[in-house]
Amino acid sequence: MSKENFEFKAEISQLLEILVHSLYTNREIFLRELISNASDALEKRRFEQTKNDNQNDQTPFEMKISVDKENKTLTIVDTGIGMTEDEVKENIGTIAHSGTANFAKQLAEGKESVDSIIGRFGVGFYSIFMVADSAELITRSFRDGSKALSWTSDGKSGYEIEEIKEETPFGTKIVVHLKEEFVDQFTNENTIKEIITKHSNFINAPIFVGDTQVNTVSALWREPKFKITKEQYNEFYSFLTYDTEAPLDVLHFSIDAPVQFQSLLFIPEKEHGMFGMDRDNWGQDLYVRRILIEHNCKNLLPEYLSFCKGVVDTEDLPLNISRETLQDNLLLRKISISLTKQVLSHLEKMAKENGDEFKKFWSEHSRVFKTGYMDFLNKDKFANLVRFNSMQSADAEDLVSFAMYQDKVKDTFGADATKEIYYFYAPSREAALLSPYVEIFQQKGIEVLFLYEPIDEFIMEAVREFDGWKLSSIEHADLSTLENLSNVEDFEAPKVEELNVAEKASFDDMLATMKDYLGGQVAEVKISHRLTGAACCLSNPDGTLSSSMERVMRTIQKDSGIPQKVLELNPNHTLLRNMLALYQKDSKDSFIEQGTKQLFESALLLEGYLQDPHGLVGRMNDLLTQSSTWYLQTK
């Protein structure tokens, strides 16, 4: 065969024209394309050799990249499958191939800009003409009896093919003749190494630059689990995340249905900046057959599982998929659904089998995890995993799940006593334990979950029910069912005399008077059935939100007024008994008004609603002055 000249087809000329003239700056990606082609060629040879059981050929599977500043060239040689004459014409001379064809199509349809396509997905072999004046490809097919060929082109009009007579090893060698302005950059070995590490680090075959193998970290996720040591996992993790600490946990799975993918995820020991400056820097790395498609891909796991760092690799996606279409890619959606379930199941297993580890996980990552209350698809799993401090916990660190709550209640009251899970929001454990609302629960020995963060209430609103049990804020608890339950053994009820009929009537009158003193500030003043120690508390008129939820809503709506509440009074409290006695003597005694306002404003203060403390403080000082005078007289 003598020299043959071929003209480029119209679409290739067009493509080359665009490539050469685009202002695209990140031209280094041509190397990624060449490496990826060489890697495919090596895989094909491996397949061929295995198929034919050809053990004779000892040629190593590898690629070598060398640079020559003087001659202004970069050369890549692989020991892959090589190409026959027909294959060269077919593969290199036409545009039938996935990447290039896609590229041209999307450009033609005006869906993508040149730069964004080149940057993200490369355009295959022809991307070399972004940096090259001309290129030479020498190839000989691995198959017996194949001739060696040389293909050359200036990337403008067409190409030449010529047979090579000298002995040529099988495989492919590509010599890139660099344009003047790219010589310095791409004949620098260190730069080349950096580019390889960035884009092609997990290519299976060794990549040599000079005598050094650059890609030394293997694609660990592709290896069978039982072969991997803990040290290897840790090493890989620190390579991936630059975290100096070992990960808390490793999740390594290989899924075949409904989609094929492999995933290696790590849960870091420490929560790293999810709430700091680095807020947006999350996601997992998406690979397609070991080639990085997207770093920090946000379509693999929902944000609430963003504490998982790692890699997902699938055989099923085309290499040239565009990132915009990744978002609505059905296959990726399936991977995401499956991966999310895997992670949640893993956490459930951890919670069950390794409580200490789960505790660590929760203390580090629960802030992010809790934002998952909107994942309705996995509501049950989510509900299994959330933890709360509770009234009966030993301390603030002691946490319970919904299921643990149920077990406790069933143990104490039998299986059918109540089917409610009670919760209460307070700024801290101390505040919760002192709150008048929890008194009756302490008295009856019914567990209450304590919520300390606004998001906890959103969780309750979203979950609503757990295993048939309703989640109820204790502010809305149906007290009539609770009252019938017996008190805990060591509960000491304050000893008070029952009110007689006349006293009861006066008490009701006093309540009406108190309501008058408070006017429209309260919806109602009534006797409380929930209080034992405290004198009073505020509750919401029936059917409205819990107070803390209401506060959240009001903050959102920038409403700073005081909502109308019900003032509940404890008729057995000494203060109320004294007020009643005074009231019976003189219903207009000024202390009744003073006491009423003081009780109401203290309750507002406790609930976080009191805006102007002057009245409260002034009254308190008056009362202290009076009482100290009386006290002094007794000394």
Residues that bind ligand ADP (CB under 6 A): 33, 37-38, 41, 78, 80-83, 91-92, 97-100, 124-125, 172
Minimum Å gap between C-beta 223 and ligand ADP is 25
Minimum Å gap between C-beta 204 and ligand ADP is 15
Task: Name the 3-class secondary structure at 374.
Answer: helix
Minimum Å gap between C-beta 105 and ligand ADP is 13
Per DSSP, 146 falls in state P
CA atoms of 448 and 66, how far apart (whole Å): 70
Q: In this complex, which beta carbon is closest to ligand ADP, that of residue 191 or of residue 318? A: 318
Minimum Å gap between C-beta 76 and ligand ADP is 8
Please report which helix (H) or strand (E) contains residue 521, including its range. none
Q: In this complex, which beta carbon is closest to ligand ADP, that of residue 145 or of residue 519? A: 145
Q: In this complex, which beta carbon is closest to ligand ADP, that of residue 89 or of residue 298? A: 89
Q: In this complex, which beta carbon is closest to ligand ADP, that of residue 45 or of residue 370? A: 45
Q: In this complex, which beta carbon is closest to ligand ADP, that of residue 125 or of residue 221? A: 125
The token pair at 340 is 């999310």
Minimum Å gap between C-beta 317 and ligand ADP is 13
Minimum Å gap between C-beta 334 and ligand ADP is 24
The packing angle between helices 10-21 and 98-108, to 10°, is: 80
Burial class of 608 by CB neighbour count within 10 A (0 to 12, 13 to 18, 19+): exposed
Residue carrying the six token digits 């849960």: 267
Burial class of 513 by CB neighbour count within 10 A (0 to 12, 13 to 18, 19+): middle
Minimum Å gap between C-beta 367 and ligand ADP is 43
Minimum Å gap between C-beta 171 and ligand ADP is 7
Q: In this complex, which beta carbon is closest to ligand ADP, that of residue 33 or of residue 457? A: 33
The token pair at 575 is 């203060």
Q: In this complex, which beta carbon is closest to ligand ADP, that of residue 39 or of residue 263? A: 39
Q: In this complex, which beta carbon is closest to ligand ADP, that of residue 80 or of residue 310? A: 80
Beta strands in 47-170 (DSSP E): 63-68, 73-78, 132-140, 148-153, 158-164
Residue 58 to residues 37, 63, 89, 328, 383: CA-CA distances in angstroms? 22, 15, 29, 45, 57
Q: In this complex, which beta carbon is closest to ligand ADP, that of residue 205 or of residue 549? A: 205
Residue 528 to residues 432, 557, 573, 576: CA-CA distances in angstroms? 18, 31, 11, 12
Residue 595 near residue 565 (C-beta atoms within 8 A): no
Q: In this complex, which beta carbon is closest to ligand ADP, that of residue 314 or of residue 540? A: 314
* Contacts with 129 (C-beta within 8 Å, 6 or more apart), sequence order: 16, 19, 20, 135, 155
Minimum Å gap between C-beta 188 and ligand ADP is 23
Q: What string of DSSP letters covers 408-438? A: HHHHHH-TTS--EEEEEE-SSHHHHHH-GGG
Minimum Å gap between C-beta 187 and ligand ADP is 21
Minimum Å gap between C-beta 97 and ligand ADP is 4
**Positive or negative: CA dihedral 123, 125, 131, 134:** negative
CA atoms of 623 and 391, how far apart (whole Å): 34
- Strand order of the sheet with strand 469-473? 399-400, 388-390, 449-451, 420-425, 469-473, 465-466
CA atoms of 392 and 64, how far apart (whole Å): 67
Residue 117 to residues 60, 91, 292: CA-CA distances in angstroms? 34, 21, 15
Q: In this complex, which beta carbon is closest to ligand ADP, that of residue 100 or of residue 284? A: 100
Which residues does residue 310 pair with via DSSP β-bridges, in sequence order? 265
Q: In this complex, which beta carbon is closest to ligand ADP, that of residue 81 or of residue 446? A: 81
Q: In this complex, which beta carbon is closest to ligand ADP, that of residue 97 or of residue 577? A: 97
Minimum Å gap between C-beta 320 and ligand ADP is 6
Minimum Å gap between C-beta 33 and ligand ADP is 6
Minimum Å gap between C-beta 78 and ligand ADP is 5
Minimum Å gap between C-beta 450 and ligand ADP is 58
Taking CB positions, which residue lies at the least distance from ligand ADP? 124
Q: In this complex, which beta carbon is closest to ligand ADP, that of residue 92 or of residue 312? A: 92
Please report which helix (H) or strand (E) contains residue 264, including its range. strand 261-267
- From 248, 253, 310, select the one nearest 284 (Cα to Cα): 310
The token pair at 509 is 């009158």
Per DSSP, 53 falls in state T
Q: In this complex, which beta carbon is closest to ligand ADP, that of residue 195 or of residue 567? A: 195
Strand pairing class (212-213; 158-164): unpaired
Chain centroid to CA 599: 46
Minimum Å gap between C-beta 172 and ligand ADP is 4
Q: In this complex, which beta carbon is closest to ligand ADP, that of residue 83 or of residue 511? A: 83
Chain centroid to CA 240: 17
CA atoms of 526 and 518, how far apart (whole Å): 13
Beta strands in 280-380 (DSSP E): 284-288, 291-297, 309-314
